[in-house]
Amino acid sequence: MVKRKPFECGIFEDLEVAKRYNEETKNRIRHLSGSFVSVAKKWGIVDGKVLDFGTGTGLLAIELSKKIPDVEVIGLDLSDVALEVARKNLQESEQPLSVSFEKGDAEDMPFKDSAFELVVSSNTLHLIKNPIRMFNEIQRVLKPEGRFFISDFRRSGLGLFSKHIRAAYSPKEVKNLLSRSKLENWEVKDYFFWLSILSEK
């Protein structure tokens, strides 16, 4: 197993880099959003509030709102330039959407307790400095019957070629972090290139 090498800075600081990322990942996020939508509908989440933390340029948040139109989606991110692109993406949507974007830290979320029916995130876990604090915050902002679905890269030998995969966690490491957090009723699904953390059935 390749040794983990965390990012020194995990947020977008350059507007042009954020714009390029947005263009390069649009189609992939549209495809990826299908798994988030199918899980949400399977759980019966068709309205209420959804949080997408580490939203970046807002692509997942926007797709969730398009495909589950009665939910209110909030995208949270620390990067001003990423949020600038996210708001532009929202303005360019061909349909009115119940989406808003806020600046904030996943380790100290600016929301009241028990605020969300669903918390999601894609490709953010490996960028978080203190994942245990993040997991604790997810538990705090979820409603008592709320659900969560987090997807991220899985560290493997491919980390020799990708700094994102090199910064990611192994399934064993993720389970260790979760067991030390306050987040309840979780399960970890292990795939070859990525892993998912989601509410138990």
Q: Is the pLDDT of residue 166 over 90?
A: no
CA angle, 185 then 201 then 177, to 5°: 30
Share of the chain above pLDDT 70, in %: 95
With helix as H, strand as E and coil as C, how does the chain read? CCCCCCCCCCCCCCHHHHHHHHHHHHHHHHHHHHHHHHHHHHCCCCCEEEEEECCCCCHHHHHHHHHCCCEEEEEEECCHHHHHHHHHHHHCCCCCCCEEEEECECCECCCCCCCEEEEEEECCHHHCCCHHHHHHHHHHHEEEEEEEEEEEEECCHHHHCCHHHHHCECHHHHHHHHHCCCCCCEEEEECCCEEEEEECC
pLDDT at 113: 98
Q: Is the pLDDT of residue 159 over 50?
A: no
Query: pLDDT for 24-49, tens place per residue?
Result: 999 989 888 999 999 999 999 999 99
pLDDT at 169: 94
For the chain, the first-to-last Cα distance in angstroms comes to 30
Structural domain spans, the chain: 17-199
pLDDT at 141: 98
Between the alpha carbon of residue 88 and those of residues 36, 83, 197, the distances in Å are 23, 9, 30
Q: Is the pLDDT of residue 9 over 90?
A: no
pLDDT at 201: 66
pLDDT at 161: 52
- The pLDDT mean for the chain works out to 92
pLDDT at 6: 77
- Mean pLDDT over 194-201 rounds to 90
Task: Name the pairing type of β-strands 194-199 and 142-153.
Answer: antiparallel
Query: pLDDT for 87-144, tens place per residue?
Result: 999 999 988 899 999 999 999 999 999 999 999 999 999 999 999 999 999 999 999 9
In the CATH scheme, what is the homologous superfamily, with its name and number, of domain 17-199?
Vaccinia Virus protein VP39 (3.40.50.150)
Task: Band the pLDDT of 164: cuts 50, 70, 90.
Answer: confident
